[in-house]
Each structure stands twice: as C-alpha cells, then as structure tokens.
Amino acid sequence: MITIDKMERLSKMKKLLVLGVGNILMTDEGAGVHAVHEFWKEKDTYDDTLVDFIDGGTFTQDIFYLFETYEHVLVLDIVRAGHEAGTLYSLDEDDLVKNEKQMLSLHDIDLLDSLDMAQMRGHRPKLKVVGIEPDKIDWGTQMTPALVKAFPSFMQVARKQIETLLNE
C-alpha cells in the first residue's frame, strides 16, 4: 500500500546523491570529500534537479534520512584492501556485504546501517561506491603524492559513474 506521504516523497525524489566521505584533516582519508569539493566547482555541468553533491565528512548514521529522497547513492571514499596506493575501486552494495575483508574506509558499517534505516522508513536507494586505496592516514590536510597523482583518475571514474547513474 502506498501512502500519501510516500507518494509525496517519491514525487520529490532525485535521481542521484553523490556523497563524499572522509576526514580532510587526515591526509588520504579525505579523498572522497576532496572529490566532492571538486564536483562543486563543476556544478553547472550537472542538472541540479537530478543530482546533489554533499560533503558527508566522517559520515554518521544521522544523515540516513537523506537517502530516502534519492534513487541512487554514489559514495566517494577510500577503500583499504591492501593494494597499491591509488588503486581505484568500483563497488556495489553486494561487494561490501559479501567481502568482509574489503574495508570501505572507517564508514562502511554506518553506511550499510543507514541504508537499512532508510529502507525501514520506506525507501532504500541503490548504492555504488567509487573508492581509492590510500597511501597514508595521518594528521595533515594534503593528500600524499601517490593519491595526488591518482586523483584525476579517481575523479574520471566518479564522473563516469555519475553519467551512468543519471542515464539509468
């Protein structure tokens, strides 16, 4: 049964939320947030009736309610999987659930729990993650040289995912 509240929510739903996650005070940990800041500079390229770009910071479950108003959520974050720094990843929710050794930064549990909470409230968006393997996580506001070098490729993969999700 679809309630009036749910119909109103669905009519206001946007296609895509791009959520940059991380801590910009911890070197490579901030890669996802740095990416969203770059997308803000390109905002005129995208139809703001379809997509929003949000700096999720260190991401807590407090923002789960945002997920209810999007068909898709694209998370930009670091992924620690033991590969060379700068390695890029494109993951679906199933990849995060099935591969317990794959760590999506420090935010994976909050992210999956937030999706579950959104589902309990009536809508669970489809999740996609674009990640990058960090070199170092330590105090500092700049990414390491390895991530600075890989960052344009990270942005390109994210742009391609945005294009794909907006055209679904």
The tens place of each residue's pLDDT in the chain, 168 residues long, gives: 445 454 455 557 899 999 999 999 999 999 999 999 999 999 899 999 999 999 988 876 677 778 889 999 999 999 988 899 999 999 998 887 766 555 554 455 577 777 788 888 888 899 999 999 999 999 999 999 999 999 999 999 999 999 999 998
Assess contact for 78 and 31: CB atoms under 8 A: yes
**CA distance linking residue 108 with residue 98, whole number of Å:** 13
Give the pLDDT of residue 148.
Answer: 98
Give the pLDDT of residue 106.
Answer: 47
Assess contact for 97 and 112: CB atoms under 8 A: yes
**CA distance linking residue 121 with residue 130, whole number of Å:** 26
Give the pLDDT of residue 81.
Answer: 84
Assess contact for 29 and 58: CB atoms under 8 A: no
Q: What is the pTM of this model?
A: 0.87
Give the pLDDT of residue 109.
Answer: 54
Give the pLDDT of residue 100.
Answer: 58
In order of their start, the domains of the chain are: 4-166 (3.40.50.1450)
